[in-house]
Amino acid sequence: MTRIFLIALVVLGITQLAVAHETAGSWAKHHDDAASARSIDLDRYDNMGGDFALTNPEGQTVRLSNYRGKVVLVFFGYTYCPDACPLTVAKVSQAMGLLGKKRQQVQFLFISTDPERDTPQRLKDWLAGFDPRFVGLRGSLAELAALEKRYWAFHIKLSPDSDTGSYLVNHTSRLFLIDQQGVVRYLFTPDQPATSIVEGMRLLLKPNSWWARLRLLFAS
């Protein structure tokens, strides 16, 4: 009886050690995941950005200030882009899905850097392939140049192909995160995953505490 009892104690001890090891491993993984999720540090880019007025595919004038009270994501690109643009827009679409119901508090604006080929209908149809709620915007080349200057962005039209006449446009690949007051708060780079975009949006969508409001007041 004593021998069986001792064997049982040994087995129990081994089991508890295994559970403890597994728990510690799970905690460490959770801790690492949490640390990764907190990789977004918001800032205030007061010398960058600002309100603008461009035209949507329906011919209506759209201003950034129309979305005051919402979080806004802005990207400069073009529909004929072979890589960065479709990848970024798809990533934003994925992030919106991960955001859940709060997605209604966020708007994505795609500003064309190729208004010559990005006709209103093409812009609308192309974005609808990712999410029909995404808004495409166009302006004249002069309007685009002035806007890019304020957003520290750029675009360069490359020489057309001698046979097909098609061309590429080099452009800024950053995704701008803009808060509910119209201030640029973060610049996402192409290598950041959709989960980082979600984290950035959630930080802005959190209910403001009195301390957060006080910090914002002194930062402005």
DSSP codes joined into one string, 82-136: SSHHHHHHHHHHHHHHHHGGGGGGEEEEEEES-TTT--HHHHHHHHHTT-TT-EE
What per-residue confidence (pLDDT) applies to 10? 40
- Residue 5, Cβ neighbours under 10 Å: how many? 9
Question: What's the farthest any 2 CA atoms get from each other in the chain?
Answer: 93
- Which residues does 90 contact at the CB level (< 8 Å), separation at least 6? 130
pLDDT digits (tens, 9 = 90+) for 23-48: 444 444 444 444 444 578 999 999 99
- Residues making up the chain, counted from first to last: 220
Average pLDDT (184-212) is 88
Cβ(135)–Cβ(108) under 8 Å? yes
Residue that the structure tokens 């994501």 belong to: 73
pLDDT digits (tens, 9 = 90+) for 93-110: 999 999 999 999 999 999
Lowest mean per-residue pLDDT among 56-65, 117-126, 203-212: 203-212
Q: Hey, what are 104's tokens?
A: 């209604």
Cβ(106)–Cβ(209) under 8 Å? no
Average pLDDT (43-68) is 97
| Separation CA 114–CA 79 (nearest Å) | 8
Provide the residue type at 92 as one letter: V
The domains of the chain are located at 1-37, 53-206
* pLDDT at residue 129 is higher than 60: yes
Q: Classify burial at 163, counting beta carbons within 10 Å of its beta carbon; exposed 0-12, middle 13-18, buried 19 or more.
A: exposed
What per-residue confidence (pLDDT) applies to 165? 87
Say how many CA atoms lie within 13 Å of 21 toward its Cβ.
Answer: 6
Domain 53-206: CATH architecture, name and number where available: 3-Layer(aba) Sandwich (3.40)
